[in-house]
Structure 1
Amino acid sequence: MQNANSKCNLIEQENGFLNDSIEKEAYIWYEENWLHDDHEHQHQRAQLTFVQEGYQYFHINDKIYLVPQNHVIWVPSSQKHKITSEAETVKLMVSLFKNVPKDDFYSTTHVFPVPSVLKEMILYATKWNKETEKNIEQEAFMNALLISLPNFCNENVALQIPLPSDKRLLEVCHFINLNFHQNESIEELAEIANLSTRSLQRIFKKETGISVKKYVQLIKILKSIELIDSHQFTLSEIAYQVGYKSLSAFTSSYQAIMNAKPRISKKISF
């Protein structure tokens, strides 16, 4: 992994705070094979990341956000975050903005699929990849993209993985994450937490905002996205690997989370 303080022309000053000396309002950083580290950081610029290929996890506060292929994530200014991924190849485009409009949208994290118009705008902007000199056309174009974002946002909150603070629940989550291919009963999960089934369900819902059953479903689908990205298995094989008894059951569950049917896309080549 490249050192985090060299990413996107940002230089680490202290305690994970990254800054730059670029005067332009917005600049672009595109890489076809993005490398990762486990380095939490923050920067004054707001960030829009488009995942063209692969997938990316953003760890922010008490949530992990999955950003699959053809999705974007908006990260507000000065928000601490770190990124991870097990994808074989990750192609990302990061847009960094010095100033943003005074609107509630820009002060919170959002993950949403990229509609065709926004995708074409983002790909067009790669013509300015890593350019640091001022450019009138780029400034006007990136400002138009920026102020249009709230209109494009159709947020998928299912891509947010909640993390409880209760250690007993963390043990349950850890077990589910490692054994997503199994279908443990609520009684077995309650035993891991040393809680009654009723207490487990009540405390889990209170801390995470979702039920244990929903969390299990979410983890299965997130793991299936990783397997789909590997291009090594058919959808039927993936369905069984993440614990579904049939392709139809997996497809139904996937569609409920992702608002689209699962499919194995062709790898992007240039």
Structure 2
Amino acid sequence: MQNAKLKCNFTETENGFFDDSIEKEAFIWYEENWLHDDYEHLHQRAQLTFVTEGYQYFHINDKIYLVPQNHVIWVPSLQKHKITSEAKTVKLMVTLFKNIPENQFYSTTHVFPAPPVLKEMILYAKKWNQETAENDEQKTFMNALLVSLPNFCDENTALQIPLPSDMRLLEVCQFINLNYQQNHSIDELAETANLSTRSLQRIFKKETGISIKKYAQLIKILKSIELIDSHQFTLSEIAYKVGYKSLSAFTSSYLAIMNAKPKISKKILF
């Protein structure tokens, strides 16, 4: 990982395109302190990333996908993406698949929590980390994992942050992201966009598929996930830091978005 032109045993043959000469069907790369180029790139192989500690943001087309701890993201072949994170520590496993089953599932991006069976399968595959020689057990095992993925997928679309194309709305999104601790009225946000309140609400919903109020709530919860990951604050402290007046209000909002109550998890040791 020291060479900026080499990632996961891929070589950057031209700006943003990574090629590999590995013949094996599935190549596995485990990284304890992940550092990734924060520019758009793509590769021929499809990618399954499992975050064991920390979190990652995947920027793909008009969305940003948050992949928290114990979640996976499926990125189709030749899909342009870039990855960012402000987590102090990021541990993850990347599996790159050469041949993909003919199923609609594999042609689109998915983010979902890894159920116990999938998690154990991914962690078991760590034994083949960075091996380039073909292995009969690995080939059979990873193929079983691959074809089972659609059955494991319980996608949480709340982890997808929609990005509008209208520059006026982008300014509003940036304002919300920078001031997520505060609760701004629709009138204040409309003034930022130089739009009427009604126009802002209508255009924002049309471009993103969610209301501006929902977007602000989503940003608060995603920021809280970052703070939970830091292991520096209690849930009550996090609730206040992201702009909620009580832990109960934060918990209700978190539950509505994530379909689970917030909790401080233990760090994973390998």
User: Corresponding residue for 1:227?
Assistant: 227
**AA partner of residue 186 (structure 2):** I
Matches of 1:260 and 1:173, distance apart in 2 = 26
Matches of 1:85 and 1:222, distance apart in 2 = 12
Matches of 2:62 and 2:81, distance apart in 1 = 11
Matches of 1:82 and 1:251, distance apart in 2 = 31
**AA partner of residue 76 (structure 1):** P
Asked if the contact 1:30–1:93 (Cα under 8 Å) also holds between the matched residues in 2, the reply is yes
Aligned residue for 1:249, secondary structure, equals: helix
User: Corresponding residue for 1:209?
Assistant: 209
User: Corresponding residue for 1:144?
Assistant: 144
User: Corresponding residue for 1:23?
Assistant: 23
Aligned residue for 1:232, secondary structure, equals: coil
Q: CA deviation at 1:25?
A: 0.6
**AA partner of residue 206 (structure 1):** K
RMSD: 0.9
TM-score between the two structures when normalised by the length of structure 1: 0.98
User: Corresponding residue for 2:52?
Assistant: 52
- For residues 61-140 of structure 1, what are the structure 2 equivalents within 5 Å? 61-140=61-140
Structure 1 residues without counterparts, runs of 5 or longer:
none
Aligned residue for 1:102, secondary structure, equals: coil
Provide the aligned length of Structure 1 versus Structure 2: 270
Q: CA deviation at 1:40?
A: 1.1
Q: CA deviation at 1:39?
A: 2.0
User: Corresponding residue for 2:266?
Assistant: 266
User: Corresponding residue for 1:183?
Assistant: 183
Q: Percent identity?
A: 84
Aligned residue for 1:22, secondary structure, equals: coil
Matches of 1:4 and 1:109, distance apart in 2 = 26
Structure 1 residues 2 and 254, CA gap change in structure 2 (3 angstroms): farther
Asked if the contact 1:4–1:39 (Cα under 8 Å) also holds between the matched residues in 2, the reply is no
Q: CA deviation at 1:88?
A: 0.8
Matches of 2:217 and 2:168, distance apart in 1 = 20
Q: CA deviation at 1:15?
A: 2.8
Structure 1 residues 27 and 168, CA gap change in structure 2 (3 angstroms): same
**AA partner of residue 262 (structure 2):** P
Aligned residue for 2:5, secondary structure, equals: helix
**Cα deviation code 1:28-87 (max 9, x no counterpart):** 000111113312100000000000110000000010000000000000000000100000
**AA partner of residue 37 (structure 1):** D
Matches of 2:167 and 2:196, distance apart in 1 = 15
Moved more, 11-20 or 180-189: 11-20
**AA partner of residue 50 (structure 1):** F
**AA partner of residue 245 (structure 1):** K
Asked if the contact 1:2–1:35 (Cα under 8 Å) also holds between the matched residues in 2, the reply is no
Matches of 1:191 and 1:176, distance apart in 2 = 13
Matches of 2:124 and 2:211, distance apart in 1 = 42
Structure 1 residues 89 and 147, CA gap change in structure 2 (3 angstroms): same
Matches of 2:162 and 2:10, distance apart in 1 = 29
User: Corresponding residue for 1:159?
Assistant: 159
Structure 2 residues without counterparts, runs of 5 or longer:
none
Q: CA deviation at 1:2?
A: 4.2
TM-score between the two structures when normalised by the length of structure 2: 0.98
Aligned residue for 1:33, secondary structure, equals: coil
Matches of 1:42 and 1:90, distance apart in 2 = 21
**AA partner of residue 20 (structure 1):** D
**Cα deviation code 1:91-131 (max 9, x no counterpart):** 10000000100100000000000000000000000000000
Aligned residue for 2:266, secondary structure, equals: coil
Matches of 2:134 and 2:121, distance apart in 1 = 19
Q: CA deviation at 1:4?
A: 4.6
**AA partner of residue 121 (structure 1):** M
Q: CA deviation at 1:154?
A: 0.5
